[in-house]
């Protein structure tokens, strides 16, 4: 019984979704992840910030990951871990050759003058931690972590 | 996303509500460009106060509209959304390129004030 209890205790809640790389998926994912993360004491504004960050990551998949064979597969995983939420957005698309460049504000590969290249800026701004792994031709993994500001404050 | 318009003396008011994002930005662009092109008013108040969600694609569409309408010699004034959508808008330093007012009333008053 002790073992069973420990197993349950150590099992952080998680969420997994697989979707097509379409704009609609950005909406589905941001709403679902926000509902999932609402188990933590986030403020409404923090949940809105999380929604923007998730929407940007999934939106990037819809806009850039599969230029010639859209829609491709997008996988979104979220888990509650050490008082925060970790969200991973993965695709198996074209990848990013220069991640540092792609993360620069205003950088965009799109010829559309309406594309502002702020996606990574918003992911960075609205989460506590952002990691991007990518292999050209193989795909991209974006990992974001966000904690409720109240929880971060209580620990200090 | 909801878009309505109101013609006033000298001013076209375009009100946008709902989610302006990677899914809706294209329809927003086409619809509001059409409204502005069809209006004889020289000034445009783009009222975004009922926008509930804004992402970088929606932001780009807004910036693109402001740029395009100014190129076509319209005077553009903006009423921002609130909450995180406002933060998104502010991060583009939009205030440098377009006048931003806290309410439609203030925007209209200011627009009228410039003329008269």
Answer yes or no: is pLDDT of B8 > 50: yes
Lowest mean pLDDT among A1-10, A104-113, B26-35, B67-76: A1-10
| Mean pLDDT value across chain B | 92
Query: What does the pLDDT look like over B72-104, one tens digit per residue?
Result: 999 999 999 999 999 999 998 777 789 999 999
Q: Which of B62, B18, B11, B82 is nearest to A116 (CA)?
A: B62
- Region B59-68: what's the mean pLDDT? 95
A25: nearest CA in chain B?
B23
Biggest alpha carbon distance in chain A? 61
Residue B58, SS3 per DSSP: helix
Q: Rounded to whole angstroms, how far apart are CA atoms B36 and B43?
A: 9
- The reply to whether residue B21 touches residue A27, judged by beta carbons under 8 angstroms, is yes
User: Cα distance from B34 to chain A (closest Cα, Å)?
Assistant: 17
Q: Rounded to whole angstroms, how far apart are CA atoms A83 and A41?
A: 9
Whether the complex's predicted ipTM is more than 0.85 is answered with yes
Position B116 confidence tier, pLDDT thresholds 50, 70, 90: very low
- pLDDT confidence of residue B112: 53
| Chain A residues near residue B28 by CB distance under 8 angstroms | none
- pLDDT confidence of residue A28: 98
Answer yes or no: is pLDDT of B115 > 80: no
């Amino acid at each position: 019984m002790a073992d069973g209890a420990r197993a349950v205790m150590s099992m952080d809640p998680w969420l997994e979704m697989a979707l097509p790389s379409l704009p609609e998926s950005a909406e589905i994912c941001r709403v679902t992840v926000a509902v999932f993360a609402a188990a933590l004491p986030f403020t409404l504004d923090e949940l809105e910030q999380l929604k923007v960050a998730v929407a940007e990551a999934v939106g990037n998949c819809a806009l850039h990951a599969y230029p010639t064979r859209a829609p491709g597969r997008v996988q979104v995983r979220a888990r509650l871990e050490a008082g925060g939420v970790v969200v991973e957005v993965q695709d198996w698309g074209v990848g990013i050759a220069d991640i540092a460049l792609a993360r620069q504000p205003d950088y965009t590969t799109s010829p559309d003058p309406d594309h502002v290249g702020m996606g990574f800026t918003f992911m960075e701004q609205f989460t506590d931690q952002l990691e991007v792994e990518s292999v050209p031709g193989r795909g991209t993994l974006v990992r974001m972590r966000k904690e409720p500001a109240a929880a971060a404050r209580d620990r200090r | 996303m909801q878009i309505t318009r109101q013609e006033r003396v000298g001013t076209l008011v375009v009100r946008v509500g709902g989610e302006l994002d990677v899914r809706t930005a294209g329809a927003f662009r086409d619809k509001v460009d059409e409204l502005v092109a069809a209006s004889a008013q020289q000034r445009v108040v783009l009222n975004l106060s009922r926008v509930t969600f804004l992402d970088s694609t929606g932001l780009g569409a807004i910036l693109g509209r402001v740029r395009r309408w100014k190129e076509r010699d319209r005077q553009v004034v903006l009423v921002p959304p609130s909450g995180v959508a406002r933060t998104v808008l502010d991060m583009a330093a939009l205030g440098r390129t377009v006048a931003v007012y806290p309410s439609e009333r203030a925007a209209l008053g200011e627009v009228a004030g410039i003329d008269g």
